Chain A
Amino acid sequence: DAGVIQSPRHEVTEMGQEVTLRCKPISGHDYLFWYRQTMMRGLELLIYFNNNVPIDDSGMPEDRFSAKMPNASFSTLKIQPSEPRDSAVYFCASSQLDRGRNTGELFFGEGSRLTVL
């Protein structure tokens, strides 16, 4: 079975531009998480969904960030307008959380490295 798929793997953009990061979770997983990783702040949870519904977006830094999950197999994280301080690696992860033999485990994608100039 394919793992969590993220695109693009690398994105370089200029300040003020819109950035869209994409994620395809593992089929059958009902939880989806977006994380941001930086040297300064480590791994931060931005938002998570359960059955396509946003449950907690308290980690989203500001209104420039938005996330959607229109169906069980696709999610986007959008930054508009982007700023240099948004430069980071963004990870998507999916899980069944409390069901099945992988109870509690999160499956991570390989990340999208964003550089805002």
Chain B
Amino acid sequence: AQSVTQLDSQVPVFEEAPVELRCNYSSSVSVYLFWYVQYPNQGLQLLLKYLSGSTLVESINGFEAEFNKSQTSFHLRKPSVHISDTAEYFCAVKSPGGSYIPTFGRGTSLIVHP
């Protein structure tokens, strides 16, 4: 079985401050890891993903996440947030193979204040 824990339901920060959104997973097999973002009144869209190779993955808008196998974590970071980053962020885990489907965390609401 696979599961995802997002430790913070809400993270308020000021604009231009750094932010970290935490994600821990459990799985008995190897994993793919994902971060999705949901802007207000929209569906979820992929932000970044780890499938294999380099443990540090980056998105086009400045977010990055690092796969840490020993700590079973995939935390999302950004060194300087913008008002437009205000959104809900979901971590998801999936094991390779067609019999596995993604499992999503409860989501973390990032609120960026001016």
- A-to-B contact residues, CB < 8 Å: 4, 31, 33, 42-43, 45, 48, 50, 56, 91, 93, 97-98, 103-106, 108-111
Interface SS majority for chain B: loop
* Contact between chains at A104 and B34 (CB < 8 Å): yes
Knowing A42-B107, A43-B104, the reply to whether A98 touches B96 (Cβ < 8 A) is: yes
- For B49, give its contact among A42, A50, A97, A104 (CB under 8 Å): A104
* Contact between chains at A110 and B42 (CB < 8 Å): yes
- Closest chain B CB from A52 CB (angstroms): 15
Knowing A43-B104, A98-B96, the reply to whether A104 touches B45 (Cβ < 8 A) is: no
* Contact between chains at B45 and A33 (CB < 8 Å): no
Does B94 touch A at the CB level, under 8 Å?
yes
* Contact between chains at A104 and B43 (CB < 8 Å): no
- Closest chain B CB from A95 CB (angstroms): 8
Given the complex, which residues of A lie within 8 Å of B45, measured CB to CB?
Answer: 108
Does B77 touch A at the CB level, under 8 Å?
no
- Closest chain B CB from A27 CB (angstroms): 18
Knowing A42-B106, A42-B107, A103-B51, the reply to whether A33 touches B46 (Cβ < 8 A) is: no
- For A48, give its contact among B42, B46, B101 (CB under 8 Å): B101
* Contact between chains at A104 and B32 (CB < 8 Å): yes
* Contact between chains at B107 and A43 (CB < 8 Å): yes
Q: 16 A-B Cβ contacts within 8 A? A: A42-B106, A43-B90, A43-B104, A43-B106, A48-B101, A50-B98, A91-B43, A97-B101, A98-B98, A104-B34, A104-B94, A104-B102, A108-B43, A108-B44, A110-B41, A110-B42
Tell me, in angstroms, the Cα distance from A80 to B92 when the chains sit together: 31
